[in-house]
Chain A
Amino acid sequence: MADTPFIIQEHQFQRIKSILARLCVECAARAVFLVDRDGQPIAFHGEIGEMDTTSFASLAAGNVAATSSMAKLIGEDVFPAVVHEGERESIFISVIGRSLLVVVFDERSTLGLVKIRTKRASHEVAALLDEVSRDSEAISASNNSFFAEITDEDIDSLFS
C-alpha cells in the first residue's frame, strides 16, 4: 500500500511561501525552493524565469538521494547539506527531515551567508512540515476529504 498522501492546506502553503520569501531576501538569493525528498516540488520563491521547476525538484532530490547513499557507504549517517559551486550560479541544499530547502544564489551572496540564514529557516520549515504531516494523516483517516467524493466517471474522464 502507498503512503498516506501529503496534503498541504491553503493556509499552510501561504506560511511556507512566506518563509521562502523571507529567506530569499535574507540570503540575497536568486531563488529558494522547498522540495520533497522523493522529488515533488512543494513551493518556490524568487527569480525563476524559464526554469523548469519540476525537473529541478526531481534532480535535486535525486542528487541528495545519491549523496546520502554515498554517505552511508563511507560510514556517515547523512550529509546534512550539499553544495554545488559554479562560476556564476551556485546551489546550496539543506536536508530537513523528508524535505530539502534549496537555495540558488549568485555573486550577490556568499555561501557563508546562505548557510547561516538557511539554518534558521530550516527549523521553521521543519516545524511546519511536521504540522502538515500530522494534519494529512488526520484528514486521510477521517475519510471526509474531498477525494472520497471522486467518482469512477471523474477518473475515466481524464482518459477520454
Chain B
Amino acid sequence: MTFINYASREINCKIVYYGPGLCGKTTNLQYIYDSTAPQAKGKLISLATETDRTLFFDFMPLELGTVRGFKTRFHLYTVPGQVYYDASRKLILKGVDGVVFVADSQDERMDANIESLNNLEENLQSQGYDLSTIPYVLQLNKRDLPNVTPVNELTQELVRKGEPVFEAVATNGTGVFDTLKAVAKQVLTELRKG
C-alpha cells in the first residue's frame, strides 16, 4: 500500500523481489545499495542465516528524488527463495505495490523458476492481489553463465502478461537499475491513476 504523507511531503512505496532460491534477489539489492549515494539510501538490513541465505527478508529504503515536491521513497524487500519459507514469503507480500520476479537463467533452474512463479501468483492471490494487475517486471538473471536457457524460451515459459523483461547479471549490475526503474515507474503510474 502506497503511503502518502502530506505533512512531511513523502510518498512511500513497497517493492518486493521474488524468485527461486539463489536466483540473485539479494544480489540485486546489494548492487543497488553499493551503487547508491549515501544520502539516498538507508541501511541494508539482511535477516539471513549463518550461511548468508535469506531467512526472513532483506530490506533497504531508497530515495529516488522528488515528484512535484514530494520525496519518493521505495522500500525494497526480498523474500527467502527456499521452498520451505513460504509462510515468510506471504507475510512480506502484504502491502506490496510492485513485484520484480528474478528468474535464474540456468537450464537446470527452469523448473524452480516456474514453481516459484506459480507460488508468487498463489501468494499474491492469498493477500488479495492479482499478478495481472499489479505493477510487475520480469528479470532474467545470470545471463553471463555458460549454461543458460535462450531468452525466447525463458520468456515463453515465464512471461505472464506482457510485462517488461530485462536480461541481467546482478553480480556486475547489468540490468539491475533498468529493472528497478521499470517497476518503480509502473508503481508511480498506478498512483497517478488513483
Contact = CB atoms under 8 A, between A and B. Distances in A.
A binds B: yes
B43 A159 contact: no
A6 B194 contact: no
Interface residues of B, number: 50
A8 B129 CA distance: 23
B6 A6 contact: no
A59 B45 contact: yes
Given A36-B95, A150-B188, A8 B6 contact: yes
Contact of A140 (B43, B64, B194): B194
Contact of B42 (A10, A52, A66): A52
A13 B67 CA distance: 21
A69 B126 CA distance: 14
Interface of B: 1-8, 12, 14, 42-43, 45, 47, 56-57, 59, 61, 64-65, 67-68, 72-73, 75, 77, 87-88, 91-92, 94-98, 129-130, 133-135, 181, 184-185, 187-192, 194
Interface in A117-160: 140-141, 143, 145-150, 154-159
Given A62-B91, A159-B184, 5 more contacts: A3-B95, A7-B6, A36-B1, A54-B73, A149-B68
Nearest to A10: B7
- 9 smallest CB-CB distances across A and B, nearest first, come from A38-B95, A13-B7, A1-B133, A3-B1, A5-B2, A65-B91, A10-B7, A40-B3, A7-B4
Contacts, number: 131
A68 to B, nearest CB: 9
Contact of A2 (B5, B91, B129, B184): B129
A45 interface: no
Nearest to B180: A159
Contacts of B7: 8-10, 13-14
Given A2-B135, A8-B7, A145 B95 contact: no
A42 interface: yes
B80 to A, nearest CB: 12
| Most central of A38, A141, A148, A156 by chain B CB within 10 Å | A38
A155 B188 contact: yes
| Most central of B1, B98, B133, B185 by chain A CB within 10 Å | B1
B192 to A, nearest CB: 5
